[in-house]
Structure 1
Amino acid sequence: MTEKEEKFNRMVPGTIHLVDLDGTMNVRHEDGDDIVLVPQPTEDPEDPLNWSVWRKRVLGGCLMIAVFSANILSTALSAVLLDIVKDTGISLGDLNTGVGIQYLFFGWSCLLWQPLALTYGRRPVILFAGLACMLCTVWSAYVKSSGEWYVNRLLVGFFYGPMETVVELCISDVFFAHQRGKWIAWYCWTLFNIPFISGIVAGFISSRYGWQWIQFIASIISSGCLLILFFCLEETMYYRDPALELDGTESVADIKESETSSNKKQNIDISVDNVQSTENSNDTPVYKKKTYLEKLKVWGAKSPKQSNLFWQSIWVPFYLLRFPSIIFAGFTVGAVLSWFNIVNATISTVLSAPPYNFGANMIGVFFVCPAIGISFGSFFSGKIVDNFTVRMARNGKGYREPEFRLWLSVLPMVIHPFGCFLYGIGAAHGIHWVGLAFGLGAICATFPIGSAIAINYIIDCYKEVSGDGLVTMILIRNSMGFGFSYAVTPWLLAVGTQNLYISIGCIGAFIWGLSFLMIVFGKKFRAVTASTYWSLVDTHGFKAH
């Protein structure tokens, strides 16, 4: 690679030197491998990037518990909407509209939660929002009118918000670039699978005890999850001095020059922040590990050197709409949520009607099919894609491009329309329910693939502002999801199940096809907007997470 090409790769956000093919980079590598650790960790044992494998797995498990808890609180009623109609008199259209409002606030509430998490810490935001969401879920068992349902869903959606972006932020805090895909896949598996798996149980609970007990039992389980999170979920926010931050694309000489320039400009001392750190006479940082009680704190995570990102993180998500990569990610994951909402809104209507005539408990059992499909999609979007990107980096002279992950879109571009046509046309013509199961499983297999692609793509492209970029993505996603939730009932009544699913099959194929447009032009888009991006990063100091 020529010197000119190397300078170009350093300039383009998202392009990183992931594999040290020649063994000449004086940076930290993965043990026994030529993979460069991106981002480069400090020497501090409390730096989340330096945590032990076991400690990282505990953190990952806690994040999945948080998502599980929030999902059973907010989505377990999907299988029993018709039971709620009979008991309360609220129309199915109003119930679906309420669900749409809930999903809208899943996204828009992140304009508050994400700035709080970026400024004051991830742990207090997740714990507080989880508790509030649980209390709102208890109230939902007592709603009797459309107005109450709307307000309740709004609040549930508002307090669910941290599960949409803060969890991904924690994953990017702790895991390196070549490891994130696996944990994002686990996140997507939990995010999409729990609503369906809980629906299996919810159908039987509703048939025996009434739909209200779904919410009561979910709240009891959630309270146990909150206790686990309080004692086991660690804070992952960690301040890295910009002078010491290394992304694996620079040489040691570059870093020293950058440190000298930064010190002269800002008149600061090179040091690494820690909860408790001192310096010896040689200016070498001395670190101290946190005690267990210190890890339980829900305050004090913000470093004195850390910029206050709260107000910036409210407007920056809108500013990021000028970057094509973020818009693409938003539309991709927005389409996924739209299909998810359509499936949830129509599955009871389709299966309770002739010739199937399924009751609430059997509709719940049918939710096994999408759960299997989601597991299939999660498998392909995790470790397999991580390994694929590393292999592509080896073939690309050691450099990894975020677009490498987009090749996974080949799979959903085929199975999404196939599943939609099989399920929609099959339901309209009364084929055996096994055919519907295969169709629904194929549709749902694309949910974790689309979400993993979008989340990883934003983190890979713009890691300095990934927290705000995820909010931008979620705002696009949940606005699209709300629109489809609001329209699905009249759309279904107007055109029928067959034409509805033919339409979303064709729309989905088009949106998946956009991935290949980004494979061709994605790096060019990032190069064209590079000066705007780096100006934003330098002006506002987006270096703290």
Structure 2
Amino acid sequence: MVRLRCFDELDSTEGTVQLHDEADDGRLILHPRPNPDDPNDPLNWPRWKKHVCFGAVCAFTFLTNYAIGGLSPAFYGLGIEFGKTQTEVTALLLWPILVLGVFNFFWVPLANYFGKRPVFPSPGQAQRHSVQLDLYFLHERGNYLGLYMNAIAGGNTIGPLICGFVITSLSWRWHKWIAFILTAVNWIVVLMFVPETRYDRSYLETSPNPTLRSDTDRADASDEELGNGASAEKVISSNSRETPRHPALRCKQVPKKTWWQELSLWSGVPKDTNLFVMFIRPFPLIAYPPIIFAFLAYAVSLAWVVAINILNSFLLQAPPYSWKPSINGLINIPGLIGNIIGAIIGGWLVDKYSDRHSKKHNGVFQPESRLHLLWIAGIIVPAGCLVFGYGAQDSLNWTSLFFGYGMVAVGLTAVPVATMTYVSDCYLPVNADALLLVNGLKNIVAFGFLQGVVPWVTVAGYASTFGTQAGVYVAILLLALPLIFFGQRIRHASARWRLIL
């Protein structure tokens, strides 16, 4: 018989952790805790190895969207070439969005059961995001998720930017061939240089949490001691004193795997569950308020950008603009700039803010601090909707369309980075299932909206359509207020709900 558990059985902290040790000059405490006896723990990997693995993940994600969303400058010409309506042509982008979302519910459970490595070359965004959580610590999550989100968004901005010139010089078919070649190369890199990142650290999390130096601090200390003539043995001994071990962790040093061993596609399966449970396990988590907010905020951030992406070729390649696809593709430059700015706001800036916030509260980290800067996107994105909508409605100078798109694009990275990192902080032991819901449901909701955006614009006009979008965006982000002010109470109450399979 299946037994439903409370979340606090898995994590008694409920996401609230001591990030800085106030008794030791505010020294950083690492979360999750790396296994000091296992060099194969992804958290113990050298930084270069983490970055290579993470870079391959980002490249695969980028190329997925490059192949699909990059075709958008060709939509106007494809409609003429094949005699299709605007709605029929935009389906080339809308249905892949739905498939990418729905198939998260298939690929992610397989990856959780059999391991990420054998399932990795598949369209599961939640699965790839969880790789980033396997490699980096809590205080780094926002920054690296920002880079990952730039890879996702970059496929929809750099892709159309390049595709515009490819279409003008060659044909839209060459865009697909280029995507195939690049993806094949990336697949080989993944096969050779991305080991399994799944790691069971449940027994580590049940023991008292020691104060640990960050990996950078430890490396700097080791370099300094070795530079003064200290032996390697002294450095190891010193670091052992700095990282007190619980008796449960005092075990024999695990031998480091060889590169050939890391190429194995088999890493075992969980002994305490089965594949059927893996498939149904995520769905009860939809009851958690942070997950509801995260997927709604991500959905509107995605949908508003994709709406502009599928509409701009019909605007700019038709009179009065009458641009070539190569020039049309340039609208993605402000989109790319907006994505980068958004990733910095939602990632690096939120990381710094959360770290500073914890220091002001006796070193205690509260996940809700990730949401405090959402007001920035809450102002920029709706303003961008209005600028683009009225610019398109009145055929204003192209700069209004460019600026509007760039402002809306800020939300595509800023909001998902902040909200998904927030969800990961709150529900780390079940983060793969939680992020599966966020990524899967946001694509389904975005698909539903985008199915109607072309008829909506046709009937109501651009100004009314994008004005309404601005209002909806503000309304969704306002849902963050209960989480910001009462988030700890909500987490404390919901941690007792029996939802975990």
TM-score using structure 1 length: 0.79
SS in structure 1 of the partner of residue 370 of structure 2? helix
Are residues 1:484 and 2:449 paired? yes
Q: Where does residue 194 of structure 2 map in the other structure?
A: 233
Cα RMSD after superposing both structures: 2.2
Q: 1:201 pairs with 162, 165, 186, which one? A: 162
Range with greater deviation from structure 2 (395-404 or 97-106): 97-106
Q: 1:513 pairs with 460, 478, 487, which one? A: 478
Question: In 2, distance between residues paired with 1:73 and 1:233?
Answer: 22
Question: In 2, distance between residues paired with 1:118 and 1:311?
Answer: 12
Question: Percentage identity across aligned positions?
Answer: 27
SS in structure 2 of the partner of residue 182 of structure 1? helix
Counterpart amino acid of residue 117 in structure 1: A
Q: Where does residue 256 of structure 2 map in the other structure?
A: 289
SS in structure 2 of the partner of residue 179 of structure 1? helix
Are residues 1:35 and 2:28 paired? yes
Are residues 1:243 and 2:203 paired? yes
Are residues 1:13 and 2:7 paired? no
Note the C-alpha offset of 1:98.
4.3
String of CA shifts for 1:476-498, please: whole Å, max 9, x gaps. 20111111121011111011111
Q: Where does residue 86 of structure 1 map in the other structure?
A: 80
- For residues 252-331 of structure 1, the aligned pairs below 5 Å read 284-298=251-265, 300-302=266-268, 306-308=271-273, 310-331=275-296
- For residues 495-506 of structure 1, the aligned pairs below 5 Å read 495-506=460-471
CA contact (8 A) 1:40 1:248 kept: no
Counterpart amino acid of residue 61 in structure 1: G
Counterpart amino acid of residue 447 in structure 2: F
Question: In 2, distance between residues paired with 1:527 and 1:245?
Answer: 19
Note the C-alpha offset of 1:309.
5.2
- For residues 425-504 of structure 1, the aligned pairs below 5 Å read 425-504=390-469
Counterpart amino acid of residue 232 in structure 1: F
The higher-RCO structure (CA 8 Å, 6+ apart) is: 2
Question: How many corresponding residue pairs?
Answer: 455
Note the C-alpha offset of 1:353.
3.1
- For residues 323-362 of structure 1, the aligned pairs below 5 Å read 323-362=288-327
CA contact (8 A) 1:17 1:398 kept: yes
Range with greater deviation from structure 2 (514-523 or 493-502): 514-523
Note the C-alpha offset of 1:88.
2.0
Q: Where does residue 155 of structure 1 map in the other structure?
A: none
Flag the 1:77–1:59 CA change in 2: closer, same or farther, 3 A: same
Q: Where does residue 228 of structure 2 map in the other structure?
A: none
Are residues 1:401 and 2:366 paired? yes
String of CA shifts for 1:425-467, please: whole Å, max 9, x gaps. 1222222212221111111011101110221011111111110
TM-score using structure 2 length: 0.86
Counterpart amino acid of residue 323 in structure 2: F
Question: In 1, distance between residues paired with 2:146 and 2:288?
Answer: 25
Q: Where does residue 390 of structure 1 map in the other structure?
A: 355
Structure 1 unaligned regions, length at least 5 = 1-6, 24-31, 130-159, 253-281, 541-545
Question: In 2, distance between residues paired with 1:247 and 1:368?
Answer: 50
SS in structure 2 of the partner of residue 287 of structure 1? coil
Question: In 2, distance between residues paired with 1:248 and 1:430?
Answer: 64
CA contact (8 A) 2:335 2:406 kept: yes
String of CA shifts for 1:78-118, please: whole Å, max 9, x gaps. 12111211222232212223422211121111111101111
Q: Where does residue 62 of structure 2 map in the other structure?
A: 68
SS in structure 1 of the partner of residue 253 of structure 2? strand
Flag the 1:439–1:221 CA change in 2: closer, same or farther, 3 A: same
Question: In 2, distance between residues paired with 1:45 and 1:110?
Answer: 31
CA contact (8 A) 2:350 2:418 kept: no
Structure 2 unaligned regions, length at least 5 = 1-7, 213-248
